[in-house]
Each structure stands twice: as structure tokens, then as C-alpha cells.
Amino acid sequence: MDGTPGGTGNHGSSFPKPMIQQATAEALWQFSLSHYSHHDVKHACLKLQDDYQGNVNLALLLVWLELSEFSLSDSDLYKLKSALSDSETLLRRYRQVRRDLKAELSHSGYQKLLNFELMLEKKQQQDLIAAVNHLPWLTGGHSAVKSYCLQLSASAVHLYPLLTRIS
């Protein structure tokens, strides 16, 4: 990343854009927090996660790359998914425990569990950045976000416009 807040690109929004194979976890995290704060994006991410067992961090990374006019091949997308297998299993189990305990916990207790889950999410993004920076980035071409949705389910592709939406 060049350290500037980013350009406006085709989508009219300013966000930190990665340089080829030099993305940083902090820039991805900041993009993710900003992008996920949009109601439609959050809803699409949760549907991707809950209905299609998709990985929100991977989807957000792919959206970030796409909005920066980069993409990945389908085979490299599979490599990223493989790099997440351990952390994804841990996150899914933790998320289920948190949801199961929600009714039994105070608001502050539940918030502590959510905050810990966010730390796990941030660590997963660090793993993604380490992996993606070792892969060839494509300019132009197909949408890795759309490919990822299709890999999950043909019906998940309807989430693509919401995931890539910039308000």
C-alpha cells in the first residue's frame, strides 16, 4: 500500500488500496470495518456465512481487491480457502458457542465474547494477507468475488452486487 487514503477508482469511493503483492493486514482490516458498516453489505456477508458457509474475511479480501481492480485465478482462490481451513474451523466453533451462550450471558459478558471473536477474525485476515501476497494478482478479467459465490452455491451469486456495493 502506498500510504495514501486511496483513489476513487470506478466506484467513486475512497479507501486504502493495496499495491500488487504488498497488501497489509491493517489496510484490509480498515477497509473491512468501513465496508461491513453498510447495512446491505453486512446483511450479504451474514447470509454468505450462515446460509452458504462462506468465509466473510475471504469475501471482504476479494471485494477489496476487486474494488482496487485486481483479481485472482480460481486456482489461487482455492489456495486461499485451503490456507483458512484451521482458522475457519476454530472460528465456526467459537461462533456457535458464543451464539449458544448468548441467552445466559450479561450484555457485557456477551460483548467480551464478541470482542474476542473480532480478534480471531483479525488474525484470520492476517493469515489471508500473508497468503495472498504470495499469489499472482491479475488485473482486469473475471470477478473473484463472483467466482467465490458460485463456488459456494449457484444461488449465492445473487449476493455479489450487495457484497461489492459502495455507498
Query: For position 5, what pLDDT does the model report?
Result: 34
Amino acid identity, position 61 = L
| Dihedral sign computed on CA atoms, order 132, 135, 141, 144 | negative
pTM of the predicted model as reported, rounded to 2 decimal places: 0.87
Confidence band for 6, pLDDT divided at 50, 70 and 90: very low
Confidence band for 12, pLDDT divided at 50, 70 and 90: very low
Query: For position 13, what pLDDT does the model report?
Result: 52
Query: For position 11, what pLDDT does the model report?
Result: 41
Can you give the residue ranges of every domain in the chain? 23-163
Amino acid identity, position 13 = S
Query: For position 141, what pLDDT does the model report?
Result: 79
Confidence band for 21, pLDDT divided at 50, 70 and 90: confident
3-state secondary structure at position 34: helix
**Tens of pLDDT, residues 91-141:** 999 999 999 999 999 999 999 999 999 999 999 999 999 999 999 999 977
In angstroms, rounded to a whole number, what is the distance separating the alpha carbons of residues 155 and 45? 14
Helix spans in the chain (H): 25-36, 39-52, 56-67, 74-83, 85-101, 107-132, 144-152, 160-163
Asked if 166 contacts 99 with a C-beta cutoff of 8 angstroms, the reply is no
CA distances from 143 to 21, 48, 56, 77, 93 (A): 18, 16, 16, 11, 30
